Structure 1
Amino acid sequence: MKQFLLGCVAVMALGAAASAADAKTYRIGVAMYGLKGEFAQSWVNEAKKHPAIKDGTATLTVFDGNYDQLTQDRQFDEMIAQHYDAIIFDPIDSNAGGALVARAEKAGIPVIGSNGPVKAANEAAYIGSDDVKAGEDEAKAVIDKMGGKGNVVILQGPVGQLGSIQRYEGNQKALAAAPGIHLLEKNTANWSRAEALNLMQNWLTAHPGQINGVIGENDEMALGAIAAMRSQGIDPATVPTAGIDGVHDAMVAVSKGYMVLSIKQDAFTQAQGAVDLALRHIIGDSYKPLSTCWTMYPSMKWDNGEGKLYNVPWTYVTKANVQQFLNK
C-alpha cells in the first residue's frame, strides 16, 4: 500500500511538472528609441509593473535604441530571430520604422506602437497621445505669455520621427494664428537636454537679447534651454518656455515660474496599455486586460482590444495646479 501511495505521489509530481513545463510564458520585446530621458525611463518602469509581467505570464525585454536607427534595426532582427511573441515599438525614425514593422509582421510577430507613431498601415495597434494638439497648445501658452509679440525658437525632436513632425505641425498652427510672432530659429536637439543646452547657448550668442520665447517639443529640451539661459545670466522667468512630457524637473521648473506649461504624458497608460494590447494580439479575444489603465479615461475604451488607435488624453501642468503633481 505504501509503495502504491508513493507511486501515486510520484505520478502526480510528474504530472504537475509536465503541466508547469507546458505553461506558456509570452516573450514581449520593447524597442525604445532611447533610454536617456526621464519619460522613456518612466515608460519602462510602468511597463514592468504590469500584472502579467509581475506574475510571470509574460516577460519583458527592453532594447535601448540609443537614438540610432541602425541599432534599432539590428534589435528588430534579433527579436525576429529569437521568435518573440510580440514587439512594442517606439521608433527613432517613423518612416524607416515602417519597414521594421513589415519585417516583424512577415515573421508572424504583432507590433504594438506606443508613445511614438510609425508610418505603417500594418501596425497591429497604436497607443499614444495627439502630438499635433500638444504642439499647438504648448506654442499657444508661450505666445500668450509673450503677449503675442516677439521672437521664438523651437527645439525639435529627431529628424524623421513622426512625434516630432506632428508636434511641429501643431507649433506651426499656433504661429500661423499669431502674426506678431517671428520664428527666429528651429533645429533638432534629439529630445536631449544636453544637446538642447548647447544649441540654445549658440542661439543666445548669435541673437543676443532677441529670443523672447522658447518652444521645446519635449521637457528635456526645454530644460536644456533653461539651463543655457541661466549659464548666460538670463532669468528664465523672463523668457516664456514650454515643453511636453510632464517629467519631474519640468514640474519643478513650472513651480518656479521658469516654464509656463508642461503637457504631461501618461506613461502608465501608454506602457501598460501597450502590454495589454500585445497580449491581446498574442492570445486572442479570450484575453481580458489586466491593467487598471483602462479605467483612467472615459474617452479611451478597450473595445475588446480590436482598435487600431488608442488616444491617451494629455494633462496640462501649470503654476496653478503643479503642486498637486509634485505632491504625488
Structure 2
Amino acid sequence: MKKISIALAAALISSTSAMAASLAPADITVALIYGIKGDPFYVTMEKGARAKAEELGIKLVADGPSQWNPQLQTPLIDAMIAKKVNGMVAVPNDPTAMVPVLERAFQSGIAIATADTFVGDGDYKDGTVNFPVSAVSSDNFAGGKVACEALIDAMGGKGSLYILVSTPNVPSDTLRRDGCKAAVDATGGAVKLAGVDYTQSNATNATNLTQAALQRDKEIGAIFGGNLFSAQGAAAATRTANLQGTVKIASFDAPEEAIASLKDGTIDIVIAQQPAEIGAVAVQAVFDSLTGKTDIPAKVAVPFVTITRDNVDTPDAQAAIYKAK
C-alpha cells in the first residue's frame, strides 16, 4: 500500500491549514461521508457531527451510500472533492479500497479524519496510511469481548456460541469478532465456537445464516450479533425456532428496535456505542487541523455503554439509545 511521505503529508497539511486559517468559520465546510444510509447509528452520528459544527460555527454536509459498498461510497467522496469542501469525516467502507479516493481528497487540500472504521491499519502516526489526522471510533475489540463474556455467563459457562458480523475485512467488524473469540478462548474449551458468519449488513442474510447454524449445532446457547442487522436477523431466527430467551443474544449497537427486543426478552445485552460523540470528536479533529493545531490525537477510543434489562431505564442507558430520525 502506498504511503505518502511524512514530508509531503506535513507540507499538504500545512498548506491546507494555512488556506483554511484565512477563512472565517462560517466559510468552512466539512463533509460527513457515513457508512450506510438510514442506519440509526449513522443517523445519530450525523446529529452529533451537526451539533459540533453548529457549536464551531462551520457548515456540515452529509451523504452516504445506500449499501455498505466501497464502489458506491467512492463517487460520493469524489463529489465532495468537486464541491471543494475544506474538511471531511469519512466512515470508510473498506480499509484498502477507500484509500485512493481519500488520498485524492487529501491531496486536493481536504483535511480528513475517519470515524467508526479506518483505512490502512488505523495507525495514522506510524502505520501504512498516514494522511488522515485522526481515527475516532469505539474500542471494538473490548466491546466484543465484554458482550461475549456476558453471553458466556448467561449460558452458564458451557455450550456453543455463534458469531455474526457484517464483513470479514472491515476493521470494526473484525475487531468485534476477535474480541468475542478471545472471550470464548478464555473459557479453556468449556464454551465452543459454533462458527463465524458474515451478513453484509443485511438482516435477512443474518436470519438465514442463523437458522442454518441452529440446525447444524443444537448446542448453540448464545449468539453475538456484531452489528444492528446481524442481531436483528438472529433475533428473528430464534423467534421462528421458538428459542427466544433460551438462546441468549447480544447486540452490538443500540437502535430503538434493539431496546424493544431487550425489553421483550429476545435480546439479552446491548452494547451501545456513542455515535453522536464519535461524530462530534471527528468534526472537532478536522476543525483543529484546519485551524493549525498540531496536538490532535491520532487515535481516539470513545467509550461504550452496556445496556441490560436491569439498567435500561436509567438516564445513562436511555441517553445511549440511537435515534432513527
Look up the SS of the partner of 1:47 in the other structure: helix
5+ residue gaps, structure 1: 1-20, 286-303
Using the size of structure 1 for normalisation, the TM-score is 0.80
Q: Does 1:183 align with 2:193?
A: yes
Aligned to 2:19: none
Q: Does 1:112 align with 2:121?
A: no
Q: Does 1:142 align with 2:140?
A: no
Aligned to 1:83: 84
Q: CA deviation at 1:137?
A: 1.0
Q: Which moved more, 1:35-44 or 1:86-95?
A: 35-44
Q: Deviations over 1:245-279 (max 9, x none)?
A: 22222223223333232111112211112222222
Aligned to 1:210: 219
Q: Say which structure, 1 or 2, has more relative contact order (CA 8 Å, 6+ apart).
A: 2
Which among 298, 301, 305 is matched to residue 315 of structure 1? 305
Q: Does 1:249 align with 2:250?
A: no
Taking the aligned partners of 2:54 and 2:63, their CA distance within structure 1 comes to 13
Which residue identity lines up with residue 284 of structure 2 in the other structure? D
Aligned to 2:167: 158
Q: CA deviation at 1:210?
A: 3.5
Q: Does 1:284 align with 2:292?
A: yes
Query: Of the two, which has the highest radius of gyration?
Result: 1
5+ residue gaps, structure 2: 1-22, 121-128, 320-325
Which residue identity lines up with residue 39 of structure 2 in the other structure? G
Which residue identity lines up with residue 131 of structure 2 in the other structure? N
Which residue identity lines up with residue 93 of structure 1 in the other structure? D
Q: Does 1:72 align with 2:80?
A: no
Note if contact 1:25-1:59 (Cα within 8 Å) is conserved in structure 2.
Answer: no
Change in 2 beyond 3 A, CA 1:305/1:324: farther
Look up the SS of the partner of 1:212 in the other structure: strand
Aligned to 2:275: 267
Change in 2 beyond 3 A, CA 1:173/1:22: closer
Structure in which a larger fraction of residues adopt helix: 1
Using the size of structure 2 for normalisation, the TM-score is 0.80
Q: CA deviation at 1:22?
A: 8.4
Q: Which moved more, 1:129-138 or 1:118-127?
A: 118-127
Taking the aligned partners of 1:136 and 1:57, their CA distance within structure 2 comes to 38
Q: CA deviation at 1:307?
A: 1.4
Taking the aligned partners of 1:205 and 1:30, their CA distance within structure 2 comes to 42
Change in 2 beyond 3 A, CA 1:212/1:109: same
Q: Does 1:31 align with 2:13?
A: no
Taking the aligned partners of 1:121 and 1:324, their CA distance within structure 2 comes to 41
Aligned to 2:11: none
Change in 2 beyond 3 A, CA 1:318/1:56: same
Taking the aligned partners of 1:82 and 1:327, their CA distance within structure 2 comes to 38
Which residue identity lines up with residue 192 of structure 1 in the other structure? N
Taking the aligned partners of 2:277 and 2:151, their CA distance within structure 1 comes to 28
Percent identical among aligned pairs is 23
Look up the SS of the partner of 2:194 in the other structure: strand
Name the count of aligned residue pairs: 287
Aligned to 1:43: 45
Look up the SS of the partner of 2:220 in the other structure: coil
Taking the aligned partners of 2:314 and 2:26, their CA distance within structure 1 comes to 42
Change in 2 beyond 3 A, CA 1:188/1:36: farther
Taking the aligned partners of 1:268 and 1:310, their CA distance within structure 2 comes to 14
Taking the aligned partners of 2:33 and 2:186, their CA distance within structure 1 comes to 38
Change in 2 beyond 3 A, CA 1:309/1:55: closer
Which residue identity lines up with residue 197 of structure 2 in the other structure? N
Note if contact 1:237-1:257 (Cα within 8 Å) is conserved in structure 2.
Answer: yes
Q: Does 1:232 align with 2:241?
A: yes
